[in-house]
Every structure is written in C-alpha cells, then in structure tokens.
Amino acid sequence: MESQPKWRPNSKAPWESIQGSLCLQRLSNIQSLGMKILVIGSGGREHALVWKLAKSPLASTIYCAPGNAGISEIATCVPADVNDREALAQLAESISADLTVVGPEVPLVAGVSEAFHKRGLRLVGPSAAAARLEGSKIFTKEFTTRRSIPTARFESCDTPDLAQDAIRRFQFPVVVKADGLAAGKGVRIIANQSEFDEAINELMVKRIFGDAGARLLLEECLVGREASVMIFTDARDYKMIVPAQDHKRVFDHDQGPNTGGMGSFSTPGLIDESTLARVAREIIEPTLEGMSAEGNPFSGILYAGLMLTSDGPKLIEFNARLGDPETQAVLVRLESDLVEIFQAVVDGKIGSMQVEWSDDSSVCVVAASGGYPGSFEKGKPISGLEAAQSIEDVVVFHAGTTRENNDEYRTWGGRVLGITARASTLEAARANAYQAIGRINFAGMHYRTDIAASEHNV
C-alpha cells in the first residue's frame, strides 16, 4: 500500500523560516558515511523506532536517550533528562548526531525543536508553538473552531465554579479533560453529577496532574468507534500512516480508568477509503493549512485521535508525535526505509516519497505492572522473553524494563512490555500475540484479553 502526495499550499517552505539553511546538510555525504541517529525517549514507542531505524542501511550507529533495557540490545543508551531541551541538544551535538527523532511529547512542548535548530541540528518534530496542538486541549479546540474542523461541542473552564456552571449546559455522560499534558490519563468520561464533582476536585483543586488541570475542557460525549490516524509531514505535504486503533481503558470491555494505552492493532480496511478521504479533507489538510496560515507550520508526526460517528469522522484530540502503543503496531507493517522517510520530513521532500505498507495485520498487547495505572512496584524479574520471541513474526518491545550487569530483565515502569505480532490476517496476528504473552511472566503482571477482538474491529 503506497500513500499519495497531499495538500501543498502556495507559501514559503516552513523549514526555510524555522530551520534555515543549517538543516539542508550534505545528504549524499551522510549516506556514504552512514548516519548517527539519536532517538529521545525510553518507552515501547522508542524501542519500536530504534528497531525499525536499525534495519536501514543508512544507519551506522543508533543512540537512545535514555532508552531502556530492551533498547540497549540494539542501540547505545545514554543517560538523559528528556525534559531538558538544552541538555538534549548538547548531547546530540556531542555525539555528532546526523538526525534526532523525538518520541515523547514533553520535550516537544518544551521547545526541544528550537534548541536543536539553534545549533544547526536536524530533528524530526514540531516547534513548541506547533506542539500546542497536544500541549493545550483548549488551544486545539479553539483552533478547530476557527478552521471548521469537525469535533465535539465544548466549553473551557478556568475555575471550579465556572465548571459547575458549564455542566448545566451538557447532558451526561460528559467528557472532562485536563487542558495540559497528563501522560494520557487526564481524560474522564463522567456519568453523573457526583462523578463530575469528584473530577473537578481532583483535577482543579487537588491538582493531581499539576498545572495541567488548572484549566479544564468539557465536551459532549461522542458515540462511535475510535481510531488513530497519524501522518509524516513536512508542513506542506504529508503521507498517511496506516490507521490503528488504541485501547485506553485498563480492563477488558473498556472498563476502568484511562491509561497510556493497553494495546493496539492495525489492519487493512480498519477505516474505509471514503472515510479516510474525509479524514484527510476535513481534518488533516485544514489543520496543516491552518497552522501554516497562523504562523506555526507543523512539521514532524501529527496524530489525530478520531471518533468515527454516524455523522462522519470527528476529532477527539491531536498529538504532536507518534502514539504509544500504536507505533508498535504500525511500524511492523512499514516496508519502506524509516530513515529515508524522516530525512524527507526534515528536508521538505515528503511529497516525493514512496511510502509502502504491508497488507498484513498487526496486534500489540501491553503487559503492565500490578496496580497500573495507579501506584506499582518495580524490580520484578521477567521470565519467558526468549520463548515469546521464538514465535514467528513476534517482536517484544520493551517499555518499562531495566537490567544490571547482564542480569535478568526486571520491571521498571507501569507499562512493561508491548508484545507485537504481524500476520496475514488480524485473527492470526491476535492469536500469535496472545500465545506470546502467555509465555511471559512477572509478579503482578496483567493485560487485557480483548485487544483487537471482533467487537473492536467493526
């Protein structure tokens, strides 16, 4: 499957105004020498990125900051504070990185792109101003209003009293969102007034997510099937990534609190062609055009979380980077060279790229620590990794793991592993993923048993 060139406005190339000639380096020399690539982040998404980048003949050395135990098997992991944009730029400069790829959202919102461009370093990721599409849900909602992008009806609230006033204009269930970054956990689907009072108290009064909850967004609750559409974009052109579907709730049948993601899948036909065309026409292209027109061109990876309603696709949220665990599911289907794609993004040439995707399906199931998404213990020994990966076309991506002195792998995060399978059918990929996760064990381990089940793929 090859994705087609898309919208191209009649305007100055965004990389000319943002990056300047510093980013237009000698590509032919880089290719002949082999590239040093830095990936920022430490989760399953970053393991998948490193895994795919390492397959490119253009890559000579891959670094990951800070990485994890699984990543250390295929890349050089270096200590780093992903919240310190200047330190990350200094690191990239010190290792002479030819290209840097940012996994998580926090450094993007903090302005890591600007810190890199100031030093003439090549980085895949939007400016801080463009990353507000993820950094502020209220900014995004106001932007969608200006650009007539279909989304849920909403009101923003700056105080608990204003929130209580606004709720009278909604019917339950209602969606309450923290305005700022909350690691995917700042969204509540509220069924009644009592739950609403509790959410307001936790988010705005107790500030369990810090300043992210200083302002809130109230939205009507959309009905339909969720899906994720991501794109590679140089702010003028873009290439669609094959769609995926995430599973946010911690328990089967979409029960329990939201998490960073408990699994995902990608399969041909997940979104039909006519709906996908509407997503492009009504959501993706107006966003790229609008951000450029407002002086904040978006270059990098744009993620659109969608609800496929009876009235057509509607935007739930934007992310300014690849999703996790959607990345694990889609990258195992990517046939093209990811290094070449990222170079095209930075150099403003994505429109001329041929991006090929497998017609296979994929499923990623997350193995989480006991207690996640709440508090959890660390340091639990992990067994069965080799047995799991012995299954054909299964890759175990590490998310929250550690290993000392070549000792056994141990848990270190809430989401520990992303067991990912690719097969000719969704049913086969799902069976292989669950066969593989059945061979893995650590104390307190839990996972959903309904990832990519038939009720989710309709």
**pLDDT for residue 364:** 98
Tell me, yes or no, if the two domains 14-130 and 153-220 fold the same way.
no
Pairing of strands 401-402, 187-190: unpaired
Per DSSP, 242 falls in state: P
**pLDDT for residue 457:** 59
Neighbours of 231 (CB within 10 A): 23
Arch. (CATH architecture) of 14-130: 3-Layer(aba) Sandwich (3.40)
In degrees, to the nearest 5, what angle opens at C-alpha 395 toward C-alphas 392 and 400?
A: 155
In sign, the C-alpha dihedral spanning 52, 96, 230, 5 is: negative
In 324-425, which residue ranges form alpha helices assigned H by DSSP? 326-331, 338-347, 385-389
Output the average pLDDT for the chain.
Answer: 92
- Give the model's confidence band at 456: pLDDT under 50 very low, under 70 low, under 90 confident, else very high: low
Collapsing DSSP to helix, strand or coil, 131 comes out as coil
139-176 residue pLDDT tens: 999 999 999 999 999 999 999 999 999 999 999 999 99
126-141 residue pLDDT tens: 999 999 999 999 999 9
Sketch the domain layout of the chain as residue ranges: 14-130, 153-220
Class of the domain covering 153-220: alpha beta
**Alpha-carbon span 31 to 340, nearest angstrom:** 10
- Give the model's confidence band at 11: pLDDT under 50 very low, under 70 low, under 90 confident, else very high: very low
**Alpha-carbon span 212 to 379, nearest angstrom:** 30
- Give the model's confidence band at 42: pLDDT under 50 very low, under 70 low, under 90 confident, else very high: very high
CA-based nearest residue to 103, from 397, 383, 321, 290: 321
